[in-house]
Chains A and B, each alone.
Chain A
Amino acid sequence: MVGYTEALTDPSYSGQILTLTYPLVGNYGVPDSSIKDDDGIPKFFESDKIQVRGLVVHELSLTASHWNLTVTLDEWLYNEKIPVISGIDTRELTKKIRTGGVMMAALVVSDSEINVEEIKKQLKSAPRYDSEQFMNDVSTKQEKVYGNENQSVVVIDTGAKNAIIRNIREIGYKVICLPWDTSYEKIMSYHPKGVVLSSGPGDPQKYLNTIDTAKKLIENNIPTLGICLGAQIIGIAGNTNTYKLKYGHRGQNKPCVNLENNQVYVTSQNHGYGITPESLEKSEFNLWFTNADDKTVEGIKHKKQKCIAVQFHPEASPGPYDCKFVFEELQHLMEEGASAKE
C-alpha cells in the first residue's frame, strides 16, 4: 500500500516484473524527482529511474492525492516507458508464484484474442533472468562522492539504493560510491574508515570480483557491512554457500530476531537469494539475525574480524525504520575499533 516509488526505483528489482499484493496502487501519486537533498541525492527515489521491467496491479489509481505529488503513478510509468497492467487478480497471481516459484513472465494486452501458445514460445526464447548481466545497468561507472567530511565510507555499488548512502551520511561520514568490481587496493587508496557492500540484483555467486574484494576486506579487518546482496557476497567470501529461494522474501513486514538480545524487529526485505543456514557452521561467521517465520539467515557477524552483514534492508525506504541501528553498529566498528568478536 505504501512504498511503490521506492520499490520501483530500487535497483535490486532490475530485470523483474513486479506485482504488488495490495490491490489499490498509486493513491498518493509520485513526488517531484528534481527535489534533492544537500548531497544532491533525489529525496524520494532510490535511484534515478524506474528499475522494474513491468508492473502488475489490481487497481491503478488514475487520480492521486498528496501534498507532495507532481505526477500520477500512471503518468510516471508512461513517461519512463515502463508497462503496467491493471485489473489483475493479484492474489491469485501471488498464490501462483508462491507455489510455482518466481518465473519468467510476459505482459500482454490486446483487443483481440491473445494467442497464449505463441506468447509462451516467445517467452521461452527470451533471455532468462538468471543469465542476465545487471551490473552494467545498475552499478555506477565512476566514483561518486557525497559530502566532504574527513572520514569516509566506501560503498561498493552493486545496485545500491540511495537510502544506503543517506543512512551513512546520517551517521556523519563522507560517502564514496565505487563501481561493483573495484579492487581492494583501489578501495583502500581512499583510506576509508569502513566499507559497505550494497544491495542489488542477481545471483551473488556471479560477482567474483566483488567476492574477491570482500575476502580481502575481511582478511585485513576493514570494518565492513554487507546489505542484502552485499551480505550474500560477504557470506561467500567467508566460506558460506548461497542458494536461490523459491519465491524470495519481499515486503515491509518481515520479523527478524536479533539473537544477541532476543529482540524482534520488523524489517524491510527484498531478496531472491540467501545464505544456506547449514553452511554457517563451518564458516567464519556466527548467526546474528534469524527470520522468525522460516528461520532463514537474516544476519551474520564474523567470528574474529570487524565484519557484519544483514540480509534485510536496515536503510528502510520502503519499509520500517526499526533497524537503523545496524548503521550505528558499523559506526561502532569504525570508531571504537572494537572487535565484533563475541
Chain B
Amino acid sequence: MYLLPVNQEYVESIIEKERPDGIMLAYGGQTALNCGVSLEESGILQKYDVKVLGTQIKGIQKTEDRQLFKDSMNDCMIPVLKSKTVTNFDDAKKAAEELAYPVIVRVAYTLGGRGGGVAYNEIELHEIVERGFKASIVGQVLIEEYIGHWKQIEYEVMQDYDGNNVIVCNMENVLSMKVHTGDNIVVAPSQTIDNHEYHMLRSAALRATKHVGIVGECNIQYALEPKSDRYVAIEINPRLSRSSALASKATGYPLAYMSAKIGLGYNLSELVNRITKNTTACFEPSLDYIVCKHPRWDFEKFELVNRRLGPTMKSVGEVMAVGRTFEESFQKAIRMLDIGNDGLVLNRTNGETYTEEEIEDKLSHHDDHIMYNVVIALKMGISVERINKLSTIDPWFIEKIKNIVDIESKLKTSELDVSLLWESKKMGFSDKQIARAKGSLPDDIRNLRKKLGVLPSVKQIDTLAAEWPAITNYLYLTYGGHSHDVEIPSDEKGIVVLGAGPYRIGSSVEFDWGTVNMVWGLQENGEKSVSVVNCNPETVSTDYDICTRLYFEELTQERILDITEFEHPGGIITCVGGQTANNLTPGLAQHGVNILGTSAHDVDSAENRSKFSAELDKLHIQQPRWQAFSNLNEAKNFAQEVEFPVIVRPSYVLSGAAMKVVWSQDELKTYVKEATDVSPDHPVVISKFMLNSLEVDVDGISNGKEVVIGAIVEHIDSAGVHSGDAMMCIPPWRLSNKIIETINEYTKKIALTFNVKGPFNLQFLVHDDHVYVIELNIRASRSMPFVSKLVKTNLISLAAKAILDKPLPEIPENKWQKIHNYGIKVPQFSFMQLDGADIALGVEMQSTGEAACFGNSFYDALSKGLTSVGYNLPDKGTALVTVGGAQNKEKLVASIAKLKHLGFKILATEHTAEFFEEKVGQVEIVHKISEPERKPNITDLLYERKIDFIINIPSTSTLEKYVGMLDDEYQIRRKSLELGIPVLTTIELADSFVKTLEWLKSNKTTKEPIEPYDKYD
C-alpha cells in the first residue's frame, strides 16, 4: 500500500520496484484511468510487461476519444449526437438549419464551456457564434443539436472476457439532459419509459459494450427524446463511477467486487450472487422499491458562486433513499441531506413568494431550489403541463410532487385520522412535517401513530424482489408494507453505529473511515451484533458485508427511534459519524436510547460554550475572549470592547457554517442574521479573533481514566484559515517543547474533566507563547485517519475499547514524537467546477477533499502532497507575484530572493515590482487585468501560458476578502484557476512552495509503502 500521488512518475516507480503482473485501472476514477492510459502510451506497461486486467487500453480510448467513440457507435448502429464544426457564420447558419433549431453552440478550446449557448433562431445564433469565435483561441465553434429537454437515462453494464453481459441497473434523471447527472436527482429504476424503450436502450448498451470491449463494469448514458423513441448515446464510462457506486447500493449487486473478479478472468456465470449465495451473478437484479439519489450542494460556503445547475457538476456529495413510492423516497432523500429541511414541504422556513414571471424564469433555469420552485408553482396554480414545458421535468414526476402538495393541504385542513396518517406517511411525510401542519409536536404525532399502529416495515434489499429466499442483512424502512422481512431475537442486544450521512464540505470520507473502523473495533472486541445506519451510497460503511445489519436510512431522530425500537440494541454510538450523528445525541438520550461512549450530558457540556468555558476556568486554562449573546447590541458592545476583528458563529454547527471573521459593526449586523438562520435553536457566539497565531489540533482517545494522545498536529497556514482547508503537519515544526508539554497537559486534563469515553479532538491557538483552547469536539475528527496512519495507531479501534469499558493498551508516551516520518495533509479544492467562486481561503471551509503524504523530511512529504492535489512543481520558469500590504511584501522577501536564486523569472505589478527590485534585483513589470490596454498584460501572459505559478497574497492575508475584495486580484485568481496555473494565496503556502522547489533541486522524493498499524491488544 502506497500513499503516493497517482501519476505516471510515481506509479512507474512503484511498478519498477514491485514488478506486478497486472494493473487494474477502473477503480480510481478518472485519475487512475488517465494515469493508466499515459503509462501505456509512454510504453511503461510494455517495458515492465504489466498486463492491464479488465478493459484494455484500446477499449478505454474508444470511449474517451470523442471521434473514436462516435466511430465505434456508428459501427454498432447506435446513434450519436449530430454536430458540425464551423469557422464562419455562414457555415454555422447552414449547420443550424440542417440540424433544426434550437441548436447548442459550443466554443472550441475555451474553458468551462464559456461563450457557448443555446440558439433558438438565426438572430440568437448570430450573436452567440460571433461571441464564440472571439472567445475561442482557434476561432472555431461546434454547432450541435440541442437536447436539453431530452430524458437522461443510464445503464450499468457488466461484461466478462467471454462477452457475457448483463445490465445491473438502469437509472433516470429527473432533471432531464439539462443538468449533469452528478447534480441531478436520479431514480432507479427508470420510471417513465416503457418496455420497448427500456429494452431498446438495454440492447444498445449490450451491443456497445461488446463492440468497445469492456471487461468488468461500465456506465452508458443516453439521451431519449421525450416525444418519440429517438435516442442517442452520449458517453460510456469504462470504469467504476459515482453512478456505479449508486447502482451497487441501489440493487445490492456489488459492481466493483464482481468487476474485479471478472478482471481476474472469472466468467460471469461462475460468480455467485453475493446476497442469495446460491444464484448466479450473471443476472439482472429486479427491484421492488424505488431509489432516489439527491445531490448535496454547499453553495453557501462560496462567495460569488453561481448556483445555476447545468453541464458542470457542482455538488459535493449525495444521498440515496429507498422507498416504495416516489414521494416517500424523494422526501426521505431531502431529509438525509441534513440541510435543515424535513421534506419537500412544511419546512421550518416557508418558501419564497414570486410573481408568475419570476417563477416561470426560475422553472426554466434550474438551480439547487428547482424542486421547491415546482412546489411554489403548483401552489400558484400553474398547470403541470406548463411546468413541464418550462422545466423539462417529466409530467409524471411533477404529478408526484403535486401529490405531496395535495397531502400538505389535506393535513392542514382535515382531521388527522388513521387513514390520513397512513396516506401521509406513505407519501414520505415526517412526524415533524405533520406536527408543523397540525401545530403540535413531533412526539405527539409519534405517540398517536404508535397508538393507531401506523408504523414502518423493515424490508430487505435482496436483488430479486423476494422471488428467491435471501438471507440478506441489507435493509430499509418503508410505510409501503405491512410486515417485516426480518426479526431480531428478543435476547439479542446489539450495538447500532450511526454513520455520517452525505459527503459535504467539512464531513467527508474521514468520518466513514471512523464508522467502519468502529464497527470492526467493536467486532474485534467480541461484539456479535453491530448494525450500521447511513444513507450515503459513496461509502464503505454502506457495504452490507461490513456489519450485522445495514439500515440504508435517514439519520433523523424519528428514523433512528424507529430503528432502535425495532432493534432494541444494548446501545448506540453517535461519536464517529461527525456532526450529523453527534447532533442526534441529546434527542435520542431524551427518548431513552442508551448512548454508548461519552454521556449525552458531557457532550452537551463541551458543545455548550458557557458550560465549557466554566469548566476551563476551573482548570485555569485560557481561551480567546468570547461571549454568547441573543441580541445585536450585546454583540456590538462586546466587539467594541475586544476590538475587531471578531469571529461570530452559532454554537452547534460543524465546519464553520455561517462562521465569519467580522471587521466592522455593519458586517456584524449582516452575519448575525445569517448565523441565526442556519441554527435558530442555538445562541450565537462571538469571540476575539487573534491575528498572527498558530493553530494546533490534538486527536486523542480516553476511557475516562487514561488518555491516549494520537498526535499534536500543527497547521502550516496561520489561524484564520479553516482547519479543514489548512495544510497540516505532524510532528509540529514551529512549537517549542514547552508549548508541546503544555498542550499535552491541557489535553489530558480536559479529556478527564469531561469524562470522555471514546474519541475526542481539541483545537488550540498558540499566540505569543501562550496556549489557548478554541474548542473540544467529543467525537471522531477529520484528522483521525491521517494521525492513525502516520503514527501507526488505529485511534478508532482504541476508541472501541474505551466505549466498551475495556482498559486501553499500553502505548508508549508521546509515540507520535518518536515516529521518524513527517506527515503532511494538503487540501483539495474544486473551485474549477464552481463557476465564479473565489479561491482565497478564510474561516469557512471550502475544500472538498484532501491528500496525505508521508516522507522522511518535511519537504519530502510536502512535495508529494502538493503533487497529489494537482500542483505542478516546476524546476524553472516564471512566477507572477502580486502582494497587498507592506507587511506581506516584507514577509515574502526571503522567498522571492530564493526563487530568483533558483533561476525563476519574477513578474510583478508596478508597486510590487518596485519593492522587490530594490530587495532582490531585477523584476519585470506587468500590468493589471483591469488595464488591458497596457502591455505586457497579465491576461495575455496567462493565456499564452507564460506564467508557471502565481503568488497572490490579498492585502490583509486571508481576511481581506471579508473587508471588500479587490476585483483585480479576484480576476487573477479566477483566470489562473481556469487555466490550471497554481495560485498560492497565503504567505505560509508560498514559503513552503518555494522551499519545496529548492529542496527538489538537490533531492528526490521517497517512494516507500506505508506500514501497517501496530497491534495492541
Contact = CB atoms under 8 A, between A and B. Distances in A.
Interface string B501-544: 00000000000000000000000000000000000000000000
Interface string B275-315: 00001101111111110000000000000000000000000
Interface string B414-445: 00000000000000000000000000000000
A262 B162 contact: yes
A21 B199 CA distance: 19
Interface in B440-459: 457, 459
A253 B284 contact: yes
A98 to B, nearest CB: 6
Contacts of B325: 23-24, 59
Interface in A1-57: 1-3, 5-6, 21-24, 27-28, 31, 44
Contacts of A266: 166-167, 283-284
Interface in B192-236: 192-196, 198-199, 202-203, 206, 226-228
Nearest to B190: A1
B285 A27 contact: no
Given A251-B286, A293-B468, A91 B191 contact: no
Contact of A320 (B194, B202, B268, B485): B202
B749 to A, nearest CB: 55
B287 A22 contact: yes
A294 B279 CA distance: 7
B1016 to A, nearest CB: 46
B1013 interface: no
B269 A64 contact: no
B874 interface: no
A22 B468 contact: no
Contacts of B287: 1, 22
B399 interface: yes
Interface stretch (A65-73, A145-153, A185-193, A328-336): A65-73
B482 A2 contact: no
A217 to B, nearest CB: 31
Contacts of B485: 91, 95
Interface stretch (A123-131, A219-227, A311-319): A311-319
A290 to B, nearest CB: 10
29 contacts: A2-B193, A21-B286, A21-B467, A23-B290, A27-B396, A28-B194, A58-B480, A59-B480, A63-B399, A65-B192, A65-B399, A66-B194, A67-B228, A91-B459, A91-B465, A92-B481, A98-B468, A98-B469, A253-B285, A255-B284, A262-B269, A263-B162, A264-B268, A264-B282, A266-B166, A293-B280, A294-B279, A321-B202, A322-B206
Contact of B483 (A58, A65, A66, A92): A92
Nearest to A321: B203
B578 interface: no
A321 B199 contact: yes
Interface of A: 1-3, 5-6, 21-24, 27-28, 31, 44, 58-59, 61, 63-68, 89-92, 94-95, 98, 251-255, 257, 262-264, 266, 292-294, 316-322
A255 B483 CA distance: 30
A10 B267 CA distance: 34
Interface string B149-179: 0000000000000111011000000000000
Contacts of A253: 283-286, 464
A21 to B, nearest CB: 4
B398 to A, nearest CB: 9
B1010 to A, nearest CB: 41
A69 to B, nearest CB: 9
Given A59-B480, A92-B482, A92-B483, A255 B283 contact: yes
A63 B202 contact: no
Contact of A67 (B226, B282, B466, B481): B226
Contacts of B626: none
Interface of B: 162-164, 166-167, 189-196, 198-199, 202-203, 206, 226-228, 267-269, 279-280, 282-290, 324-326, 394-396, 399, 457, 459, 464-469, 480-483, 485
Nearest to B197: A2
A82 to B, nearest CB: 19
A21 B468 CA distance: 12
A89 B480 contact: yes
Nearest to B397: A65
Contact of B324 (A23, A44, A257): A23
Contacts of B482: 89, 92
Nearest to A318: B195
Given A66-B192, A318-B199, 19 more contacts: A2-B190, A23-B290, A23-B480, A28-B192, A28-B396, A58-B480, A66-B194, A92-B481, A94-B465, A98-B467, A251-B467, A252-B286, A255-B284, A264-B164, A292-B279, A292-B282, A293-B468, A319-B199, A321-B199
A237 to B, nearest CB: 30
B466 A21 contact: yes
A293 B279 contact: yes
A68 B194 contact: yes
Nearest to B460: A91
A2 B288 contact: no
A-B pairs with the 4 shortest C-beta distances?
A21-B465, A253-B284, A65-B396, A3-B195
Nearest to B191: A27
Given A21-B467, A58-B480, A91-B481, A28 B193 contact: yes
B397 to A, nearest CB: 8
B150 to A, nearest CB: 12
A35 B287 CA distance: 31
B195 A6 contact: yes
Contacts of B192: 27-28, 65-66
A31 B465 CA distance: 27
Given A23-B480, A264-B164, A266-B166, A292 B399 contact: no
Given A94-B466, A266-B166, A58 B324 contact: yes
B348 to A, nearest CB: 30
Contacts of A31: 194
B286 A2 contact: no
Given A66-B192, A67-B226, A89-B480, A255 B394 contact: no
Contacts of A98: 466-469
Q: Identify which of B194, B326, B457, B465 gathers the most chain A CB atoms within 10 Å of its CB.
A: B194
B273 to A, nearest CB: 8
Nearest to A253: B284
Contact of A254 (B206, B228, B283): B283
Nearest to A250: B467
B195 A2 contact: yes
A23 B468 contact: no
A224 to B, nearest CB: 27
Contacts of A61: 396
B25 to A, nearest CB: 25
A253 B167 CA distance: 9
A320 B167 CA distance: 10
Contacts of A59: 324-325, 480
A236 B759 CA distance: 70
A246 B240 CA distance: 39
B164 to A, nearest CB: 5
Given A2-B193, A94-B467, A292-B269, A316 B226 contact: no
A255 B282 contact: yes
Contacts of B466: 21, 91, 94-95, 98
B453 to A, nearest CB: 14
Contacts of A292: 269, 279-280, 282-283
A61 B400 CA distance: 10
A63 B195 CA distance: 18
A171 to B, nearest CB: 17
A226 to B, nearest CB: 23
A130 B399 CA distance: 43
A163 B289 CA distance: 29
A44 B195 CA distance: 10
A317 B195 contact: yes
Contacts of A91: 288, 459, 465-466, 481, 485
B785 to A, nearest CB: 39
